[in-house]
Structures are given as structure tokens and as C-alpha cells.
Amino acid sequence: MATTTTTNTYGANNPYIPTKGVESKHKSIYGLGWPFVRPKNRVVETEDIKISNESSYVSKEAGVALIKNNVKQLLSTTTGERLMLPDFGVELEKYLFEPADETTFSMIKEEVSAALDTYFDTVKIIALRVMSPIGQNSILIELTLQVLDESYDMFDIEVKVG
């Protein structure tokens, strides 16, 4: 019994073969924006993103806007203040009545750097400045961060404590 090795092809080959769409290597991360509730059918534009709240009352942020919001929350939260995350936050209030000298500022920089390394592995600190405005009992922290994804966006954040 002999087997045939010929193949019959009927029709023409399709030159438009559908291919899978291009996808990013990194999934977009979304979070809640502030304020939590925005009116429906309102378009909010910032320098980073454009948000259209046509289908939801809850505001949603992504990218640089989300990172800015989360860093401000981290630096404004005292350790032990957040439920379910007792180590979340930085003890910056304890430095409010300390002398405004380089030793105090270097301790603040170490705590801020350690907190960012712990909770934000997607950003890199480019510059970190700590200062105390004259005549005010507060601490001003200025950060320049870089996002470690394919965009490598750089942005500035200011957080005032006290």
C-alpha cells in the first residue's frame, strides 16, 4: 500500500494575516486619585494624563500623577498611622522642633530615602533637598524622581510637613 506525499491547496493565501496587537511590556498600574469623587461627564487634564470620568464617580489615576500622589501620602503619613500597614510612613514630625542644621537634614534624607526604597521600586531618586523655611516651624522636602519604566519620565515633588 503506497502513501501519497502530495498536498492539494485550494484558494489563495491571505496576505492580510491578522497579528496580535503590540502590547507594552509593563502593565499600567491604576490607583485612586484625589479627590476620590469627581462629577460625572467631566474631563480632567493635567500635564501628565487626561482623565475622562464618563462612566464612574471614582477618580482614577495612572503614571506620574499616581506616583506623585502616593509619594505625598507616604511622606505625610506617620509610621503606625495606616491600618494594615503599620510600617508605612515616615516619622518626620519628630524633627519639627529639632535644630535646623545639616545633621538633622541628613537624618531626614536617610529616612525619606529608606521609605522610598521600601515602598517605591519603580522610581529612582535623582535629587533630594530638605530645608526649613525661616520663621516657620515646618520642613520642606523637594524631590526629583525618575520613573524606571520605558518612559524614564522625571518629575518634581514638594512636600511640606508641619
Partners of residue 43 on adjacent β-strands: 52
The answer to whether residue 57 sits within a structural domain is no
- Write out the residue range of the structural domain in which residue 134 sits: 91-161
For the chain, what's the residue count? 162
* Residue 150 predicted with pLDDT over 90: no
The answer to whether residue 21 sits within a structural domain is no
Among 53-57, 82-86, 124-128, where is mean pLDDT lowest?
53-57
CATH number, domain with residue 96: 3.10.450.40
**DSSP-assigned letters across all residues of 13-48:** --S----PPP--SS---EEEEEEEE--TT-EEE-SS
- Structural contact between residues 59 and 53, judged by C-beta atoms closer than 8 angstroms: yes
* Residue 94 predicted with pLDDT over 60: yes
* Residue 113 predicted with pLDDT over 80: yes
Mean pLDDT, rounded, for 2-30: 65
Set of cell numbers at residue 7: 498536498
Identity of residue 115: A
How many separate domains does the chain show?
1
Question: What's the first-to-final CA gap in the chain, in angstroms?
Answer: 93
Predicted confidence band of residue 117 (pLDDT cuts 50, 70, 90): very high
The answer to whether residue 154 sits within a structural domain is yes
The answer to whether residue 121 sits within a structural domain is yes
